[in-house]
Amino acid sequence: SIHAILAAELGKQDKAVEFYERTARLDLDNYNNDTVDGLHITSMSGSWLAIVQGFAGMRYNEDGISFAPFLPKKWSSYSFKINYRGRILALEVEKDKEVKLTLLSGEDLPVKVWDQEVTLKEGQSQCLKD
């Protein structure tokens, strides 16, 4: 998953997807011939990290939260929700490079997507395009 995140950060989207698929399919395809002994929970969480921090490019620091998302070529969309500093934020990435952000609960939240900054209010959605 870390490899997928770093590949995405470096703009190597195809490689990021390749690393993600390896992580996501580890137990499904039984790469190590050991699923009889149980599942690799770290692979499952790594798959989530690859999507959120890799494909969606989520970063956060003392200045706030930002995204630099891309959509893998074979995908039609992806979405997830996060709890950020007591606020629930939903993010959807669609085929036409559109990103929809919705603040489901919590205080106003400034968010940066690519080079665009918006401030979301509770219950409000914003759609942005690259």
**CA-CA distance, 68 to 38, in Å (whole number)?**
35
Do 76 and 51 belong to one domain?
no
pLDDT (tens digit per residue) in 103-115: 999 999 999 999 9
Do 50 and 95 belong to one domain?
no
Give the range of the structural domain holding residue 118, as residue numbers without chain letter.
Answer: 69-130
Residue 64, in any domain of the structure: no
DSSP annotation of 108 reads -
Least confident of 13-27, 58-72, 107-121: 13-27
| pTM over cut 0.85 | yes
User: What value does the mean pLDDT take over residues 42-49?
Assistant: 75
Residue (of 48, 5, 41, 4) closest to 26 by Cα position: 41
Q: How confident is the model at residue 40 (pLDDT cuts 50, 70, 90)?
A: low
Do 1 and 30 belong to one domain?
yes
Q: Where are the alpha helices (DSSP H) in 28-89?
A: 41-49
**CA-CA distance, 24 to 47, in Å (whole number)?**
5
Please give the structure tokens belonging to residue 130.
């690259």
Q: How confident is the model at residue 70 (pLDDT cuts 50, 70, 90)?
A: very high
> pLDDT above 70 covers what percent of the chain?
85
DSSP three-state, residue 38 = coil
pLDDT (tens digit per residue) in 76-95: 999 999 999 999 999 999 98
Do 92 and 35 belong to one domain?
no
The per-residue pLDDT for 113 is: 97
